[in-house]
Structure 1
Amino acid sequence: MFSVVVSLSIQALFVFRTSAIHCQPGWDHHDSSCYLFSKDTATWESARDICQSVSSSLVAIESQSEEAFIEARLHHEFASFMFWLGGTDQFDNNSTEWTWVMTEQKINEGYTDWHPTEPDHPGKQHCLAMRKDFNYKWTDDYCTENHGYICESNTESGGTIIG
């Protein structure tokens, strides 16, 4: 009797836990976030606005595991050369530190994956991207360039379908 109760409790916990992790169709799940990999291109500001319009933000890569997940998706399924990330050095007018827009965390205080020669245009290139020819290492770029982009949403909001 005890083992049946324990078994049912574990099954109920598993069902509750897996049902709490939900992403909308077209979004991919990893850890506690949902990701939308856009095949469209946009400027950094337009990409940020598009992500916000679907209850998300440009992605903030905060761990090697998260980066490996994103790189695998980009490598196998996307032809775009560069992808916008949710970092900028113009988050606060009083600072030139790179900051994740989604979390307001200073990028260099956490996980980073800058290409060894980057950032290379301080004061000119204010938006963060991943470059395919840099093995998806991070680079600064002009915010007015058009690149692919990745939206991130926590699994509680689950993201919204675009289109």
Structure 2
Amino acid sequence: MEEIYVNPANKTSIKKHTGPWRRKRSIYLVVILSLGLLAGLLTRAFCWSNELSSMTEERDLLKANLTEMTNELERLQSLFNQKKTCPAGWSKFSCSCYLLSESSDSWHSARKHCTDQGADLVVIDSPKEQDFVTSFTQKETWIGLNDIEQEGTWKWVDGSPLTLQYWAPHQPDDLLLSEDCAHIRYQGTSWNDERCENSLQWVCEKLL
């Protein structure tokens, strides 16, 4: 389809194309703009992908460095502990020193004997420590566990609550209504509650 345009100045006529050609030109413009927009989006997505890849590499590098630092710290700690020794008569386990008393006394007196030496009654917080302590206790032996403040609420002498437990069957039973201190049973590994006034051996513990 054509339109004829007459120039008033010189009376000449110009043919002006309309119809399908104009529609095609509009489609071409839309396609070109769409391609430009798509190219921009692809470029931006590529940049984001590179940035994400870079961040992932940095994260992995930091993780590797942290693991290496942790291993080195553990190695240095191990060397440090190896060089540290316990006082004469004390036994070393992990990062602590332990002493089994030769005499017997009440729970409170036993604790004072320990604190006078910069220690306290033993706090057992791992299965390995339980095995270690019971490996050298052959008699009833006080440990640093009691429910003196509140009946039934057992706490260690360092204030930590009781989580790991090695009570004998049906213990603690507070049989005499005043069994507020815990001990390792005779020639055994389990615990029992007992009157704090009873006279037993004890185990002291202090950090290296």
Q: Are positions 1:120 and 2:173 aligned together?
A: yes
- With CA pairs under 8 Å and 6+ residues apart, which has the higher RCO, 1 or 2? 1
Which of 94, 116, 132 aligns to 1:31? It is 94
The change in CA–CA distance for 1:136 and 1:142 in structure 2 (over 3 A counts) is: same
Q: Which residue matches 1:139?
A: 192
Task: Tell me the CA shift for residue 27 of structure 1.
Answer: 0.5
- Deviation of the 1:16 alpha carbon: 3.9
Deviations 1:6-25 (A, max 9, x none): xxxxxx95754421x32101
Structure-2 separation of matches of 1:105 and 1:96? 15
Unaligned runs of 5+ in 1: 1-11, 156-163
- Matched letter for residue 105 of structure 1: S
What CA RMSD, in Å, does the superposition of the two structures yield over aligned residues?
A: 2.1
Alignment of 1:71 with 2:134, yes or no, is yes
Higher strand share: 1
Aligned residues: 133
Q: What is the match of residue 140 of structure 2?
A: 82
Q: Is the 8 A contact 2:86 2:97 kept in 1?
A: yes
- Counterpart secondary structure, 1:149: strand
Shift of 1:132: 1.8
- How is 1:1-163 mapped onto 2 (pairs within 5 angstroms)? 13=76, 16-19=80-83, 21-74=84-137, 78=138, 81-90=139-148, 92=149, 96-101=152-157, 103-107=158-162, 110-121=163-174, 123-133=177-187, 135-155=188-208
Q: Residues 29 and 124 from structure 1, CA distance in 2 versus in 1: closer, same or farther, beyond 3 angstroms?
A: same
Q: 1:54 to 1:120 in 2, by over 3 A?
A: same
Quickly say closer, same or farther: Cα 1:118–1:31, change in 2 above 3 A. same
Offset, 1:136: 2.3
TM-score, normalised with respect to structure 1:
0.74
Distance across 2 between alignment mates of 1:17 and 1:52: 22
Q: CA deviation at 1:97?
A: 0.5
**Amino acid aligned to 2:142:** W
User: Given the two structures, how large is their TM-score scaled by the length of structure 2?
Assistant: 0.59
> d(CA) in 2 for partners of 1:67 and 1:88?
17
